[in-house]
Amino acid sequence: MLRTDVFTPSRFTSEGSIELHGVKVPYHTVCEDNVFYDDEGKAIASLFSYSYFRSDVKDTSSRPVLFGFNGGPGTSSMMVHVGFLGTTRVKYGEVDDAGLPLPPYESCDNAQCLLDIADLVIIDPVGTGFGRLLDESKKDLFYGIEPDAEAILTFIQKWLDRYDRWKSPKYMVGESYGCTRASTVAGIGSLLGEDRAYSVVFDGLILIGNTVTGRRFFHDFSPVYPAVLAFPTLAAVNWYHNHPSDQTVEEFVAEAKKFADTEYLLALYQGESLQGEAREHIIERVIYYTGVSREYLVNRDLVVEDVDFRSEVARNKGRSVARLDGRITRPIYEKEVDEHTWGQRDDPAEGKYNSFFQSVLCGEVFPKLNIRWDRNFVNSFTIYTKWNNDIKGRNTAQCLSAAMRRTPGMRTFFINGWYDICTQIGILYYTLDHSNLPKDRVFVKGYESGHMAYLGEENIQQVTDDMRTFILGADPTK
C-alpha cells in the first residue's frame, strides 16, 4: 500500500454541539492511533478510532457505548461514519438519478445521530482508513477472521480501561463483513479461548447487510441452490424496476419466497425430468417474480444467476442494476462481450457513493475533528486476497449463538435492504433457520434500500429510529 508519511502515533481532540430531537447536545471527540506492539516493544500495527463523547453526562456508568465498523474485509469505517453514525453526514439526493454526482458534494448536521443516547466509537481496523500494518511479517496477526476479532476485542478492552467505561452497556454496529467481525468478537469475548479469556460481554449487536453464516467460511453460506436463496432479493429488485403487481414490496417478496422455497426448489432438483405443463408453469412464475426473459431462463436450465440478473431485470430500459443496491443503475455496455467481461465489476453504487462519502469525510469531517496530518486515508484495501477465512471448530453463527446463550440478556438486530444483491436477505433467512439462535432475542427487518440500508433521507430516519428503539430495550420491528 502506498504511503505518504512516516508513522508516528497521533491523537486529535475537538469540541462541538448538535441539536438532536430539539435538544442541544454538546460533545467532544478523541481520534487516535491504538498501537499494537510485539514482545520486544516494537510497533507492528495501529488501529485508528474516532470517539464521540456527550460532554454534559456526569455519570457514564449506565450510558451505552456503540462500537461501529464497516467490512470488506479491508474496508474503512467511512460509510458508517458519514452515512449515519457521526454528527455530520452526507446529504442524500435521489437514489438513481442516471448519473454520477460530481463536486461540490452536500453534507449536513446528522439529525439522526444517536449521540444523545449513546457515546460512539468508530473504528478503522488495521490496514484500513488511517489504520496501518507497520510490519508486513506480522500480517497473520491481523488479517483473518479470528486474528481481526482478537485485535478488535483487545482494542475494546483497552478503550474501556482508558475511558473508565467497563460498566457501560456495550453494543457493536457492524456492516457487511462487519457482521462477521461483530459475531466473532462477541463469541470470543464471552468464551474462554485457547490462550486467554476476555470476559467482555455485549448488550447487543446491530448487523447491517448480513454475512453471519452457519457454514465454515464467511462467504460460504449454504448448500442450498444459490438461486433459491437469492430469489427474494431478485424479486424485490424486479418489483422496484418493473412493478409486476400492486402489492407492497414486502408482500411481493413474501409471495416470491414462498414460491422459491417450495415449487422452485423442487423444480431445480428435478432438472430435465420436469417437462410439459409443469415446466412451463415454473418458467412463467420465475419470469413474473424476477423479470428475466424466457430466452435467458430456458438457456440456463431455469437457474437465475445474480450476476447475469443485474443486466437482465432492467434490460428493456437499457440499464444494468448495481450489486450493492439494485435501485441504482448504469447504461448497459453497447458490446455484449464488454457487459459480460467488465459489467460484473462495474457497480454503479460504488461509483455513485465512494467519492461522495470520502469527499465529505476528508474535506469536512476530518477538519471538524482537528485531524490534520500527512497520512493518507485508505477507504478500501484488498486485504481480502490475503485474508485467513478459517475459524477454529465453529462458524460465525455458532459464535453468535454461544455469546447470546452465555449472556441471557444479549440481543441481536439484523438490518437488511430488500434490494441488496450483495448480501441477500434470503441468505439471512436461511442462516437464522440453521443457527440455533435464541429467536426471542433476535430481530429482523427489511428496508427499501440496498446493502447500505441507511442510504436516502427516508431510510436513514427509519434505520436510526429502529436502532434507537433497540438500544432503549424495545422491539425495533414493531
HEC string for the chain: CCCCCCCCCCEEEEEEEEEECCEEEEEEEEEEEEEEECCCCCEEEEEEEEEEEECCCCCCCCCCEEEEECCCCCECCHHHHHHHHCCEEECCCCCCCCCCCCCCCCEEECCCCCCCCCEEEEEECCCCECCEECCHHHHHHCCEHHHHHHHHHHHHHHHHHHCCCCCCCEEEEEECHHHHHHHHHHHHHHCECCCCECCCCCCEEEEECCCCCCCCCCCCCCCCCHHHHHHHHHHHHHHHHHCCCCCCHHHHHHHHHHHHHHHHHHHHHHHHHCCHHHHHHHHHHHHHHHCCCHHHHHHCCCCCCHHHHHHHCCHHHCEEECCCCCCCEEECCCCHHHHHHHHHHCCHHHHHHHHHHHHHHHHHHHHHCCCCCCCCCECECCHHHHCECCCCCCCHHHHHHHHHHHCCCCEEEEEEECCCCCCCHHHHHHHHHCCCCCHHHEEEEEECCCCCCCCCHHHHHHHHHHHHHHHCCCCCCC
Domains of the chain (ranges; CATH) run 11-220+351-471 (3.40.50.1820), 226-348 (no CATH)
pTM, to two decimals = 0.93
The answer, yes or no, to whether residue 218 has pLDDT greater than 90, is no
Tell me the pLDDT tens digit for each residue of 415-430.
999 999 999 999 999 9
Look at 1-10, 128-137, 224-233 and tell me which has the smallest mean pLDDT.
1-10
Q: Which pLDDT score, from 0 to 100, does residue 206 have?
A: 98
Tell me the pLDDT tens digit for each residue of 242-273.
999 999 999 999 999 999 999 999 999 999 89
Look at 16-30, 82-96, 131-145, 378-392 and tell me which has the smallest mean pLDDT.
378-392
Q: Which pLDDT score, from 0 to 100, does residue 343 have?
A: 59
Tell me the pLDDT tens digit for each residue of 279-288.
999 999 999 9
